[in-house]
Amino acid sequence: MKRLFISLLAFFTLVPNAIAYCARPAPAAPLLTTGVNKRDLTGARINYNPNGDYKTTKTTKSGATANPTTTWPSSKPKPTKLNNVTVTWYGFDDNCCPNETGLFGGTCIAFPGNPPRFHQEATETFGTYDDPQTFAAAPEQFPPGTIIYYRAVQKYFIMEDECGECVEEATQGIFHVDFWVGPQRGTNGTVFCCENALTPDGPDTIIVNPPPHLPVNTESLFTCACILTGLIQDAMCAVTQTGGVCA
């Protein structure tokens, strides 16, 4: 009974906050921000080391790192449907970027490229073939610059970031992609609710090196409806995945 009371209290506390957040003026067009990576399932995370190397630390979020500008592959392999892929999402609040506070939050990516096709930061876009959105993965499985298509949201994504758990799972033959949902600002945890709502219950299918003519939904994924769906699924979604401190 006590647990139920706490859950209800959290729900009625967070819902007004989410509604207030959603009441902010929305852009006239889908977000075209340079954005950021969603929670991983268990999560070792690759963090940036100011001394110039990378280190793996255990956290509950997927990671982003900072690297020099990346040279992207120029060849275009044939489209490949990949089944049994773990799909997760990340955003500004649970992306670990190097800063003086050591806290989660930011838009850094491991493999920045050159605009307009490739981004210097994790980016939410229209999600078209010519304007793909950021995703993170193991570079051993998806070389930086790889384009994939995720039919569940009807968007194209480009590999620009590294996910610590994805790297660990790759050694076990597991494919894991971590899609950037946006936005490019802090949300006080409400982005976690949207991430949860978008995450499938089990492995899903993606298309690697897809053709350019597949259906596209150009609307932003980070919406009021997405946040509230996540709240209904878990009233504590905005406070149970705050990430904490980068090690």
Residue 246 belongs to some domain of the structure: no
**Ranges 18-22, 31-35, 124-128: which has the least confidence:** 31-35
The pLDDT > 90 percentage for the chain reads 50
* Distance, CA of 145 to CA of 139 (rounded, Å): 10
Domain containing 130 equals 2-233
Residues 157-180 pLDDT 10s:
999 999 989 999 999 999 999 999
Residue 22 belongs to some domain of the structure: yes
Residue 247 belongs to some domain of the structure: no
Tell me what pLDDT residue 93 has: 87
Residue 101 belongs to some domain of the structure: yes
Task: Give a three-class secondary structure readout of 25-61.
Answer: CCCCCCCCCCCCCECCCCCEEEEECCCCCEEEEECCC
Residue 244 belongs to some domain of the structure: no
What are residue 179's DSSP bridge partners? 89, 135
Residue 238 belongs to some domain of the structure: no
Residue 62 belongs to some domain of the structure: yes
Residue 85 belongs to some domain of the structure: yes
Count structural domains, the chain.
Answer: 1
Tokens encoding 119:
């981004």
The winner for highest mean pLDDT among 39-43, 101-105, 133-137 is 133-137
Confidence at 193, pLDDT banded by 50, 70, 90: very high
The 3-state DSSP composition of the chain as helix, strand, coil percent (nearest 5) reads 20, 20, 60
Start-to-end CA span in the chain (Å): 37
Question: Is the overall model pTM greater than 0.75, yes or no?
Answer: no
